[in-house]
Amino acid sequence: MDLDLRKSGHGIGSNASLQSNLVLYSYCHSSCSWRIRFALSLKGIPYEYKAVDLSKGEQYSPEFERLNPLHYVPVLVDDNVVVSDSYAIFLHLEEKYTQKPLLPVDPQLRALNLQVASIIHSSIQPLHMLNVLKDMEKMFCAESKPWAQFTIDKGFSALEKLLKDFAGTYATGEHIYMADVFLAPQITLAVQRFDIDMSKFPTLSRLYETYKALPEFQASSPQRQPDALIHNP
Amino acid sequence: MASASVGKELTLYSYWRSSCSHRVRIALNLKGLKYEYKPVNLLKGEQSRPEFLQLNPVGCVPVLVDDHVVLYDSFAIIMYLEDKYPHNPLLPHDIYKRAINFQAASVVSSTIQPLHNLSLLNYIGEKVGPDEKLPWAQSIIRRGFKALEKLLKDHTGRYATGDEVFLADIFLAPQLHAAFKRFNIHMNEFPILARLHETYNEIPAFQEALPENQPDAVH
């Protein structure tokens, strides 16, 4: 099935005077796509939004297969460079688009941000990915939500310990960095989809309140994306 | 190549069989950095002991201690080493090639390895039975490897992304070792990855990082 080009739109800040060579393949409800939308918003980089409707299986189309044989979003096309995987896309953006840095210069603080993002990207989100949960439900003949909740609780406990001595207004101090870019969508998903009790995580809970009020986070939220009107669960 | 070095305080807390620790061992070896190896037996639950949790409240390996800096997570550790010890670079200069390396490393660290990690396999064993653990792991690995073959086919030279060893190789080598040695994936299914696996086995920095060559290895 070919991707529906009618669902393309333009990211924040896009206008005729700004030539944009960035194309982001995204699904409004994907937390991994949200990370990249948020990062692009924070950096003020315009981009073309190409919707991939995961609920219709558009990630398995021949066109998308060529972009990402793992069949997941986001995928960033930057001139001739195709980058999939949100962690890799983030690092690419950070290296190439140096305005409004999302990684600090200090090596230790930089490592902390990479670590927080990695815990979310490698230890939490993959374990509650929709297709993993579906596979589990088939195997177990039981609800997979408890597993997702267990995984998130475990990851959030680790993050709470890591961040309690570093967090200020944001996860690692007074500036918004990579840790925040990965945390904000994850906490939102945890609360809204998996009913996680955030009172157990006071630092993360406070950060969540901060993120919700951020214009750039609001602008990149699922309900504000071009494909949100088409897909309302 | 674990040993104390005059004036240098690098310590690696590692478990021989941990593929995440394996990545960091390769990176340290490639950069020629001496370090003290401190074993943490995951099967005995040593990562949950008070003295280890004081060092790393998250309770996992690897942990790298560089003087007063304590680092966790293999990706973060390796990027730190790349920043602080830039000799023998683990990333190419070209921004496009860098992106491919980030992608390959991230596919391994977020799409393959987490989905066959010990805690998930144990959960599956409890829910369905121990016989289902291996098929689950194999299915996860096959899907990831199929994608990696496609991702890398236009980029490989002698190594994953050309003719120099970079980040992708550091993440691929432990994953390939686990897949072929522990999870019984047949090499002929994945020709590019199988060739890379053979190549890595010939490089001293990779050989010395192998699980079976660590001080805490059980044979």
Question: Which of B80, B110, B144 is opposite residue A111, by nearest beta carbon?
Answer: B80
Number of domains in chain B: 2
pLDDT at A20: 60
Share of chain A above pLDDT 90, in %: 59
pLDDT at A230: 60
pLDDT at A6: 36
Q: Which two tokens stand for residue A131?
A: 């297709």
The CATH number linked to B65 is 3.40.30.10
pLDDT in tens, A11-43: 444 444 444 679 999 999 899 999 999 999 999
Residue of chain B whose Cα is closest to the Cα of A76: B99
- Interface contact B73-A70, CB threshold 8 A: no
- For residue A80, pLDDT over 80 is answered with no
Indicate whether B180 belongs to any domain.
Answer: yes
pLDDT in tens, B85-144: 997 999 998 987 899 999 899 999 998 989 998 788 988 898 889 988 999 999 999 979
Of A25, A31, A24, A227, the residue nearest A129 (C-alpha)? A31
Q: List Cβ neighbours of B183 (8 Å cut-off, separation of 6 or more).
A: B116, B134, B137, B138, B141
Which of the listed residues B57, B86, B115 is the one where a domain comes to its end? B86
pLDDT in tens, A133-182: 878 888 878 878 898 998 899 899 999 988 988 899 999 999 899 999 99
pLDDT at A4: 41
Mean pLDDT over A172-197 rounds to: 94
pLDDT at B9: 62
Residue B151 with chain A: CB contacts under 8 Å: 69
pLDDT in tens, B152-197: 988 999 899 999 999 999 999 999 999 998 898 988 889 999 989 9
Average the pLDDT over each of A66-75, A105-114, B78-87, B207-216 and give the range with the smallest value: A66-75
What is chain B's length?
A: 219
Indicate whether B219 belongs to any domain.
Answer: no
User: What CATH number should be reported for the domain whose range is A20-97?
Assistant: 3.40.30.10
Mean pLDDT over A118-143 rounds to: 86
B62 to each of A27, A158, B3, B108, how far by Cα in Å? 34, 15, 17, 16
Give the three-class secondary structure for A134.
helix
pLDDT at A1: 34
Domain positions in chain A are 20-97, 105-218
Residues A138 and A201: beta-carbon distance below 8 Å: no
Q: What angle do CA A5, A10, A12 make, to 5 degrees?
A: 155
Distance CA B41, CA B35 (A): 18
Indicate whether B195 belongs to any domain.
Answer: yes
Alpha-helix residue ranges (DSSP H) falling in chain B: 19-30, 50-55, 74-84, 95-106, 118-127, 133-152, 167-177, 191-200, 204-209
Indicate whether B216 belongs to any domain.
Answer: no
Own/partner long-range contacts of B134-140 (Cβ < 8 Å, ≥24 apart): B134/B183, B134/B184, B136/A139, B137/B183, B138/B183, B138/B184, B138/B185, B140/B112, B140/B115, B140/B116
pLDDT at A94: 95
Mean pLDDT over B204-212 rounds to: 95
Confidence of residue A7 (pLDDT cuts 50, 70, 90): very low
Alpha-helix residue ranges (DSSP H) falling in A77-214: 86-96, 107-118, 130-140, 145-163, 178-192, 202-212
Indicate whether B27 belongs to any domain.
Answer: yes
- For residue B36, pLDDT over 60 is answered with yes
Residue B127 with chain A: CB contacts under 8 Å: 139-140, 142
Indicate whether B212 belongs to any domain.
Answer: no
pLDDT at B43: 85
Chain A touched by B118 (CB under 8 Å):
no
Distance CA A164, CA A166 (A): 6
Domain that holds residue B159: 93-205
CB < 8 Å from B in window 153-182 of A? 158, 161-162
- Interface contact A95-B128, CB threshold 8 A: no
Could you please state the CATH topology (level 3) that the domain comprising A105-218 is classified under: Glutathione S-transferase Yfyf (Class Pi); Chain A, domain 2 (1.20.1050)
What mean pLDDT value characterizes chain B? 90
Q: Which two tokens stand for residue A181?
A: 């870019």
Residues B116 and B185 in one domain: yes
Share of chain A above pLDDT 70, in %: 89
Confidence of residue A232 (pLDDT cuts 50, 70, 90): low
The CATH number linked to B128 is 1.20.1050.10
* Shortest Cα–Cα distance, B127 to chain A (Å): 6
B176 burial level (CB within 10 Å; 0-12, 13-18, 19+)? buried
Of A190, A188, A170, the residue nearest A113 (C-alpha)? A170
Residue of chain B whose Cα is closest to the Cα of A158: B58
Residue A94 with chain B: CB contacts under 8 Å: none
- Interface contact B146-A69, CB threshold 8 A: yes
* Complex prediction ipTM: 0.93
Residues B176 and B101 in one domain: yes
What mean pLDDT value characterizes chain A? 87
Q: Quickly tell me which residue has 């603080």 as its tokens.
A: A109
Question: Which of B102, B109, B144 is opposite residue A91, by nearest beta carbon?
Answer: B102
Alpha-helix residue ranges (DSSP H) falling in A167-201: 178-192
- Name the residue type at position A119: I
Which of the listed residues B34, B66, B86 is the one where a domain comes to its end? B86
Question: Which of B83, B102, B136 is opposite residue A88, by nearest beta carbon?
Answer: B102
Residues B22 and B111 in one domain: no
pLDDT at A100: 82
Which of the listed residues B86, B101, B135 is the one where a domain comes to its end? B86
Residue of chain B whose Cα is closest to the Cα of A125: B110
Residues B113 and B164 in one domain: yes
